Amino acid sequence: MTDRKDAANSMWGGRFASGPDAIMEAINASIGFDRRLYAQDIRGSRAHAAMLAAQGIISDNDATAIGEGLLTVLSEIEAGNFPFSTALEDIHMNVEARLKDLIGEPAGRLHTGRSRNDQVATDFRLWVRDQCDAATEGLHALIRAALSQAEAGADWVMPGFTHLQTAQPVTWGHHMMAYVEMFGRDVSRFEDARRRMNESPLGAAALAGTGYPLDREATAKALGFDRPMANSLDAVSDRDFALEFLSASSICAVHLSRLAEELVIWSSAQFRFVSMSDKWSTGSSIMPQKRNPDAAELIRAKIGRILGATVALFTVMKGLPLAYSKDMQEDKEQVFDAADHLLLALAAMGGMLSDLTANRANMEAAASSGFSTATDLADWLVREAGLPFRDAHHVTGSLVAMAEAKGCDLDDLSLTEMQSVHAGINQSVYSVLGVHNSVASRQSYGGTAPDQVRAQIARWKEKLA
């Protein structure tokens, strides 16, 4: 086997008489993390070699040897038997050096018509594209779990909140469907980013293209890209595809964090709206009664890592002149970390929602307190008593104050008491003061009425199917 130091020197060529010292090797090497691109790197190299042969740039025999040798390298890496070397800096040079060990001279023809610049841009684009697909799959599973919760509780009444104060009654199904809509937009962001990134940098070479008669359409098609990138400088210079992935991931992580926060609140002894299964809870080392929502809390924190990665890559890219600069070696670790934690959070949240038990009785009891039907009363005064809404708002506020002073709910006030505030109130007012009547009346499109919720569930089921 070729000595790795010698191999590194030969990769650099005759310009350099000696290899880098230990510190330079440590700061320059990326193999510690970019080895994750091995499958994409080998896939791109096989497509490139096949195209070179089809164009008559290398022989069919060399292309066959390269293709078979790369499959051997792939199997070695997947089996854990590959000798990664920091002296060879990155995944590209590690693979090529091992290919030379296996097949000899033909390995040296693989790099014809390309550079590590377009090679890494291709590898990274393929990897991020795969993560968009994985995120979309994870979101679909999460949406299905939320739909199941919504369908089960389409008419279960719970308090809706503003400022975390009781506002108006809604349904459990309506609340779950709010997250379905959020996660649905996350899906569209990943799908949109995937469409935009689906162009091939391969063949752009270092920055200016190449004089070899490459068929960039052929390699783009072989790698599942829609087309080759139209400008060689742009192809090797930008990482906006990674920034888009991170931006979509950050927004998705915010949605996950908000739902996680609600699960933490709802599972507390003060709310008892939901119960998490033992799979997603932990105990306390000192307090035996505790069931801690650790999985939800960890999901809530993931936005910190993911948003941090987004800011980090924006900062790396913000001042770089065209074309390639070594700064761009710092693009991958952030994206790898963000993708790992996003996919883990999606899987965990999907699992939690699937196992979650919503406590219908406790939610309904909470919805019935806190004067949650005050807006319904104001609306009744507008419709039935002919008051302007601002006057109706004032009358309702006076009735809330009366009920607060008596320590009762609005529907516990007598008709005489209500008429002492406004004479136009009659017995029919009680029809709007129950929480079930309140949610049933919210029939506007997108409202919380159970039949509206079920219509949205049906729409999403059809969309997913």
Residue 273 sits in the same domain as residue 345: yes
401 CB burial (10 A radius; 0-12, 13-18, 19+): exposed
What is the CATH number for 297?
Answer: 1.20.200.10
In the predicted model, what is the mean pLDDT of residues 343-372?
92
What is the CATH number for 94?
Answer: 1.10.275.10
Within-domain flag for 244: yes
Q: With a cut of 70, say whether residue 2 has pLDDT above it.
A: no
How far apart are alpha carbons 257 and 274 in whole angstroms? 17
Q: Which of 124-133, 290-299, 426-435 has the highest mean pLDDT?
A: 124-133
In what helix (H) or strand (E) does residue 170 lie, and over which residues does it extend? strand 165-171
DSSP 186: H
Contact of 47 with 219, CB cutoff 8 Å: yes
Which range marks the domain in which residue 50 is found?
Answer: 22-109
Provide the token pair at 92: 């590209």
Query: One of 163, 285, 414, 428 is an active-site residue; which one?
Result: 163
> Which residues have C-beta within 8 Å of that of residue 292, sequence separation ≥ 6?
281, 282, 283, 284
pLDDT of residue 232: 97
The number of domains in the chain is 3
Query: One of 75, 268, 277, 284 is an active-site residue; which one?
Result: 284
% of the chain surpassing 90 pLDDT: 71
18 CB burial (10 A radius; 0-12, 13-18, 19+): exposed
Domain end point (choices 360, 380, 401)? 360
Helices then strands, counting H and E runs in the chain, come out as 19, 6
pLDDT of residue 8: 53
Domain end point (choices 109, 129, 153)? 109
> Which residues have C-beta within 8 Å of that of residue 291, sequence separation ≥ 6?
267, 276, 281, 282, 283
Within-domain flag for 446: no
Within-domain flag for 15: no
Residue 93 sits in the same domain as residue 132: no
Please confirm, yes or no, whether 163 is among the known catalytic residues.
yes
Tell me the pairing of strands 227-228 and 199-200.
Answer: parallel
pLDDT of residue 9: 53
Tell me the pairing of strands 165-171 and 157-162.
Answer: antiparallel
Residue 341 sits in the same domain as residue 202: yes
Reduce the DSSP state of residue 162 to 3 states and report it: strand
User: What's the pLDDT tens digit per position in 293-331?
Assistant: 889 999 999 999 999 999 999 999 999 999 888 888 888
Q: With a cut of 80, say whether residue 22 has pLDDT above it.
A: no
Reduce the DSSP state of residue 442 to 3 states and report it: coil
Residue 161 pairs in a beta bridge with 166
Across the chain, what does the average pLDDT equal? 91
Residue 159 pairs in a beta bridge with 169
Ordered DSSP codes for 243-286: HHHHHHHHHHHHHHHHHHHHHHHHTSTTT--EE--GGG-B--SS
Within-domain flag for 74: yes
User: What's the pLDDT tens digit per position in 215-235?
Assistant: 999 999 999 999 999 999 999
Domain end point (choices 93, 109, 125)? 109
Residue 333 sits in the same domain as residue 257: yes
Which range among 181-195, 368-382, 433-447 shows the weakest confidence by mean pLDDT? 368-382
pLDDT of residue 13: 55
Cα angle 275, 276, 279 (rounded to 5 degrees) comes to: 155
Phi and psi of 340, rounded to 5°?
A: -60, -45
Give exposure, 32-63, as e/b (b: 16+ Cβ within 10 Å): eebbbbbbbbbbbbbbbbbbbbeeebbeeebb
User: What's the pLDDT tens digit per position in 176-207?
Assistant: 999 999 999 999 999 999 999 999 999 999 99
Residue 127 sits in the same domain as residue 240: yes
pLDDT of residue 284: 56
Reduce the DSSP state of residue 208 to 3 states and report it: coil
